[in-house]
Each structure stands twice: as C-alpha cells, then as structure tokens.
Amino acid sequence: MLLGVALFLLFALGHAVMAPGDESSRCTNQLDPYPPSMMMLMNSRHYSALLGPEGVWDQMDLDDNDPETSFNPTYFKHNAGGICRWSVMSCGYRSGWQDNYLFTQFISKAAPPDTTHTVRVIVDILYTLSSCRARYNCNPKFQLLKFETDGPQPREVFTDHTNYQSIRVRTGSSAVTQRLVENIDIPANIEGIYLAVRDNTSCIQVAQMQVYRYQCPRKQEGLVVFPDTAAPVDNDITIIAECMPNSSPVTPNDMAMTCDKDGNWMGAGSCRCDPGYKRVRGRNGESCVACQEGTYRTGSDPEGVCLSCPGNTESDEVGAPECECQTGYFRNLEGMSDTCPASQTRETVSDDCTQPPSSPRNLVKTGSTAESLSVSWTAPEYSGGRSDLYYRVHYSDPDNVGILLESHCTQCHTGTSCTISGLRPATVYVVQVSAHNGVSDQDEGGALARMTEITLATDSAPPSAPQRPQAFCQVVVWEEPEHINGVITKYLVKYLAVSHEVSGDRNSFVLPTELPSGTVIRIYAVNVAGTGPFATATIPSDCAGLDTPDALVTCPSCPGCPACPIPTPSECPTIPVPTVTRTTTVAIPPVTITRTTTVARIVPTTVTTTATVTRVSTSTVRTTVTRTTTRTTSTPCPTPPPSSPTTGAAVSRPG
C-alpha cells in the first residue's frame, strides 16, 4: 500500500518520505519546494499511508455503512517528467448507486499560541472528474465539506457526515485534471478542521489535496528576529520583533513590524549585544557570545568587541560587563562633589583603577605670629597613579580636642604650603595635612595613612584689657581679660601720677589713700609679652568725706589748732578717733583681700585703714573698710568739750 499524508506536518516544508513502491525507476519522489510564506498544513503526497485510520484518508460507504468504499489506490502520473504519485479513485456508478466519503485526518491551523486574529487556510485539490455522458447511474459531481473543531476527535465523530458543512460542489465535464481552490477562514477560538470529499456515484480521481495557510515566516536580520506569524485575512497586523538571545533593542520603539495577508514582512529594527557579550557572525546568522574571563564589554560599543581588562582590574567569570577594581584600587565613577576641577572628570569602566596617595612628607613650621601659623611640606612619595593630587589642612586647639577645624587650605589646595590665620596667641595647635586625589574618598579606612601632623604654638602677645572694671570709694575690682594670651603675671593700677602693682592672681585693689570724686583709674594686665591696653574705672561722686578721718573727727579747741592744730606731738594728748565702717556689696570674682595701710596724714596723727573683701555668694562679695586714726602727744591737750562724733558709723552703699 502506498503511503499518504502525515498529520499536519509543521516546519518540514519540502520534505518527502519514501513509501513502498515509490523507489521505482519510473517515478521521481521529489516534492516541489514551498515558498517561505506558505505553511503547509496537509499534503496528500506526504506519505505514511494512503487509506485507513493512519493514512491521508479515512473512508465510509454510507449506502451500506461499510468502512470499505469503492475508493481504491491508483497510479497518477502528473507529467512527462516522471513525477508520479499514488492517488485514490472511485467509479462507483459501475456498481450501482453509491454514497462514499473520504475524510481527512485532523488538520490544525498551526497558528502561534498568541494568535488572536482569524486565520485563513487554503484548500487546493487536484482532481479528475469524468463526464458520465450516457452512462447508467452516473452522477458527474463531487462535494467538498468541512468540520470545524477544537482538536482531534474520535473516529465515530469525525466520520459522522452530519457534523460537516458543505463548502463546494463541483461538476465534471471531461477527463481533464482540474484544480479546486477554496478559502476557509478559521476563527481564533477554533483549533482546526476535518475535510471530506463526497462521491455520489461519480467517476473521480483525487490526485492531490493540499491544505496550507500564508504566514510571515520567522527570519533573522542581523540580531533582529521576526517571529512566525499567521498572515491575516485582510488587514495588516503589527508584531513586535524580538532580539536574539543576550541582545536588546537599540531603540525599543522601533521594533514594530507589519505582516500582510500574503506573508510579507515590512519594517526593520535594530538590536545590539548586551553588556558582557560580543557580536559574532556565523553561517546561521549573527549571535551574541559571552566574553571570556579577563575580558569585558560595556555595551556601548556597537560592534560588540570584548576588550581586555584595564589596569588593576579583573573579571573572574564569563559575560562580564565590566572588570572590577582589585582590592585597594578604585575608580572615580561619579566625579567629585567638592568642585576640584582636576578630580571632576568622571571615569568609566574602561579606565584603569588607581589608589589614593600616601601621606605628605617633611611637614615643618615656616613662620608664626601671635595669630597665625605657616607650614610647608613636600608631595607624597606615592601619588596613587593619578595626577589630580590636592591637600586638605586642618587644625585643632585645646578648646576643641579631637575636633578638626578647617583652614582656608581645605578644599582643592594644590600647593605645598599654607598659612592658618585667626588663631589665638600663645596657644598650642595640632596642624594636620592630608593628601587626596580623585579616589581618596572611596577609601575611608585609609584616611590616617594619608595624613601627617605637627604640634606648633603661636607667638605670645600682650593680654587684652581687663574686663568690667568698677571703682568704689576705696576699692577697685575687675575681671581678667578676654584674651589672656598666656599667663597674667601682674596688673598695674594707675591713677594721677601713682602706679601700683597687683599680683596676677588678684582682681581687686584697695586704694591706699583718698581720691577725689571723678578720679579716673586705669587697670592694665601684664604677661611675658608685655603690657596690654588699659581699662578705666571712675571714683563715684557720693564718697565725699565718708572715708576721710578728718571729716569724721572734731578736733579739741586748742590754741593754734584751727583744724586740730597741734604743732608737735608733745602738745596734744592721745585723742581716740572714731571708726568709720563702710559696707559695700559689689560683684567681683570670689577672692578675700585683707590689706592694712598706715598713712601719716597730719604729723602727730596715724591713720590705719583695713579693707576686708569676703565672699557672700557665687556672684557677690562684701567689702568692709575699717579706718582708725590715732593722735599721740607727750603733753596732754586740754580736755575737749563734750561732742557727739560719729563713732562706728556704718554706711551701706550700692556697689
């Protein structure tokens, strides 16, 4: 038995399977090639069997319900070229009335799974239908029918003629071979069809049946892949083209292609290999192949060439889009943010990896003043393999231990010297100089290795003026200068033409004598660098007579003594002088001062003044001034008349 059609052979266009008997020398068993736009769904000349459940045709004789009909194999010679095939033939009119059916196997439309449009299949039948002329019981016509279904059905279903719909009825008039071509539109929700040929007592030979559809075939242009697409019935459809594995569209919006009803593609896209893959042109088209170890490709190269890893980098696996920096090496991939022009250039994965520099060398002091320090240094021994070297200079002082203060040489300083200004005199500073380049900030753990430091002191300077000076009737107080600039060795208290020295650890002074109201007192602070500017305090106006013993004592009435007129100590007896006590509350630093001064006011008179400054609270002190005047003589003066001197008077005044 000759072999017939295989069930819906897909993607095997033009392939012939030899059948028993076809190796005959009188026949050539070659099928005509199909164009790429034709998807062959069924061809009766693709043999596996001709008749029977596994052949091209299954048959049924309905007039006697016999599976065996009058269809029989017969040899069909197509042309003089020797191309010949077995076919089926029936001339049932010779045996009386016949109603015979030939049923195909299930024919899938074989559309891609994502097809959502109606697919048109074409049925092409090559047949011979003889005219009956005057033959008895002859009916020169046959009928083509279809049965749409979602998939293969049992034999009792697909051989049931009631499931079929008529497509065409053809009538013959001669024994000439003819062709019948019919279009069948299959909806998207229908998988395929069965076809049937009905013989009603005719004489028919079915030489060949082909069922196919048009498609826009899969093709590759460069790295762009046009997928298999079932051609539409009428209007063109738009399909998004694909890229070969390990490649991507150059412009995603340009990948839309058009498939027309005749199976033609229109449009063109462009793809390029993904990073880590190179473009290779082979016998079967272009493809993208992974870069080997030690090489890389970023993806920006349209030709897809794999490059060797840059200096101080490595790639340990295939398909590397870049080579990673080795440990301790870095790239300035983002550019620096501190506006250093030399380091703002953004590096790429094609650049070598580099390192931070080593520390500056030979850091020394080159000058100093009371308010500045100058230093210089030499460049690091190792630049890190870069040319964008710069420095940062910081310093710290005793009031900010552990806190680095920025100098004006902090940002992008490319010189090798720096002067730090705005410092305090006679103060020890730690100056730090660190070297940097475009990758230093990425190596946080190595910051100390790039830094060197030196401890320096600014020059001394005289202190500033004492602060908040205040003068009372017989006491002057002040606070230490804002800028001591070292150690205060002493204070100078000057008024009129008199100058007194006060220890540097004191901040008050008891005036040894009476001063007129409005007297200006100057206080100077002194250190090893000299005397600073003065601060002034003025004797208040409400002190008149209060601290003067002569105003508090009524002298006896003595001849020649207009105001206690005792010419010599021997002329006047000892006269007790009332004590004047002044209590004043002032705000001065916590200190206790006791000072006793003896002054000869009038020759026979001795005045003893005691000033005691004691602390009252954290913010105030109490100053008590006690003055005693004693008059001594060898010859008693006359007994003074009774008087009411002011004795032990206590006067409290605001500080």
Q: Which of 497, 501, 503 is nearest to 515 (CA)?
A: 497
Which 3 state secondary structure label does DSSP give 92? helix
- Claim to verify: residue 370 and residue 428 sit in the same structural domain: yes
CA 73 to chain centre: 77
Here the tokens at position 533 are 């500017």
- How far apart are the C-alpha atoms of 598 and 629, rounded to whole Å? 9
Task: Report the pLDDT value the prediction gives residue 276, as an integer from 0 to 100.
Answer: 93
| Lowest pLDDT segment from 5-9, 107-111, 349-353, 489-493 | 5-9
Arithmetic mean of pLDDT, 227-235: 88
Asked, for residue 278, whether it belongs to a domain, the answer is no
Residue where the block lists tokens 């030939």: 102
327-336, 420-429, 604-613 — which one is most confidently predicted on average?
Answer: 420-429
- Answer yes or no: is pLDDT of 228 > 50: yes
Task: Report the pLDDT value the prediction gives residue 140, as an integer from 0 to 100.
Answer: 75
CATH of the domain at 232: 2.60.40.1770
Arithmetic mean of pLDDT, 502-530: 87
148 or 171, higher pLDDT? 148
Task: Report the pLDDT value the prediction gives residue 655, as an integer from 0 to 100.
Answer: 34
- Claim to verify: residue 48 and residue 190 sit in the same structural domain: yes
Arithmetic mean of pLDDT, 439-461: 85
Arithmetic mean of pLDDT, 98-102: 80
Arithmetic mean of pLDDT, 158-175: 84
Asked, for residue 311, whether it belongs to a domain, the answer is no
- Claim to verify: residue 614 and residue 511 sit in the same structural domain: no
- Claim to verify: residue 577 and residue 629 sit in the same structural domain: yes
- Claim to verify: residue 629 and residue 530 sit in the same structural domain: no
Arithmetic mean of pLDDT, 11-15: 31
Here the tokens at position 40 are 């062959």
Q: Which domain holds residue 221?
A: 217-273
45-54, 446-455, 639-648 — which one is most confidently predicted on average?
Answer: 446-455
- Answer yes or no: is pLDDT of 632 > 60: no
Here the tokens at position 66 are 């016999």
Kindly report the three-state secondary structure assignment for every residue of 568-599: CHHHCCCEECCCEEEEEEECCCCCCEEEEEEE
Q: Which element (helix H / strand E) includes 124?
A: strand 119-129
- Claim to verify: residue 118 and residue 256 sit in the same structural domain: no
Asked, for residue 432, whether it belongs to a domain, the answer is yes
What is the number of structural domains in the chain? Answer: 5
- How far apart are the C-alpha atoms of 458 and 498, rounded to whole Å? 35
- Supply the mean pLDDT for the chain: 74
- Claim to verify: residue 67 and residue 191 sit in the same structural domain: yes
Arithmetic mean of pLDDT, 104-120: 87
Which of 183, 215, 247 terminates a domain? The answer is 215
CATH of the domain at 367: 2.60.40.10
Residue 7 burial by CB count (10 A; 0-12/13-18/19+): exposed, middle or buried?
middle
Reported as a pLDDT band with limits 50, 70 and 90, residue 310 is very high
- Claim to verify: residue 235 and residue 259 sit in the same structural domain: yes
For 147, residues 6+ apart whose C-beta sits below 8 A from its C-beta are: 158, 163, 164, 165, 193, 194, 195, 196
| Lowest pLDDT segment from 261-275, 405-419, 589-603 | 589-603
Task: Report the pLDDT value the prediction gives residue 223, as an integer from 0 to 100.
Answer: 92
Task: Report the pLDDT value the prediction gives residue 313, as an integer from 0 to 100.
Answer: 95
DSSP sequence for 208-226: EEEEEEEEE--EEETTEEE
Which of 483, 508, 542 terminates a domain? The answer is 542
| Lowest pLDDT segment from 170-179, 217-226, 428-437 | 170-179
Contact 246, 278 (CB under 8 A): no
Task: Report the pLDDT value the prediction gives residue 587, as an integer from 0 to 100.
Answer: 40
- Claim to verify: residue 228 and residue 172 sit in the same structural domain: no
Q: Which element (helix H / strand E) includes 514?
A: none
- How far apart are the C-alpha atoms of 280 and 290, rounded to whole Å? 10
Residue 488's CB is within 10 A of a number of other CB atoms, namely 22
- Answer yes or no: is pLDDT of 297 > 70: yes
- Claim to verify: residue 371 and residue 443 sit in the same structural domain: yes
Q: Which of 553, 578, 554, 555 is nearest to 650 (CA)?
A: 578
Reported as a pLDDT band with limits 50, 70 and 90, residue 112 is confident
Which of 187, 215, 243 terminates a domain? The answer is 215
> For the chain, first and last CA: distance in Å?
140
- Claim to verify: residue 82 and residue 177 sit in the same structural domain: yes
Residue where the block lists tokens 């501190």: 338
Arithmetic mean of pLDDT, 581-599: 39
Contact 21, 2 (CB under 8 A): yes
Asked, for residue 414, whether it belongs to a domain, the answer is yes
- How far apart are the C-alpha atoms of 452 and 471, rounded to whole Å? 52
Instruction: List, for residues 364-380, the tens digit of each pLDDT value.
Output: 999 999 889 999 999 99
- Claim to verify: residue 497 and residue 570 sit in the same structural domain: no
For 245, residues 6+ apart whose C-beta sits below 8 A from its C-beta are: 287, 288
Residues counted in the chain = 655
Share of the chain above pLDDT 70, in %: 67
Here the tokens at position 603 are 């020759």
Reported as a pLDDT band with limits 50, 70 and 90, residue 50 is low
DSSP designation for 133: T
DSSP sequence for 407-429: -TTSSSB-SSEEEE-SPPTT-EE
Asked, for residue 129, whether it belongs to a domain, the answer is yes
Instruction: List, for residues 548-578, the tens digit of each pLDDT value.
Output: 333 323 334 334 333 333 333 343 344 343 3
Residue 350's CB is within 10 A of a number of other CB atoms, namely 16
Gyration radius of the chain over CA positions: 61
Reported as a pLDDT band with limits 50, 70 and 90, residue 614 is very low
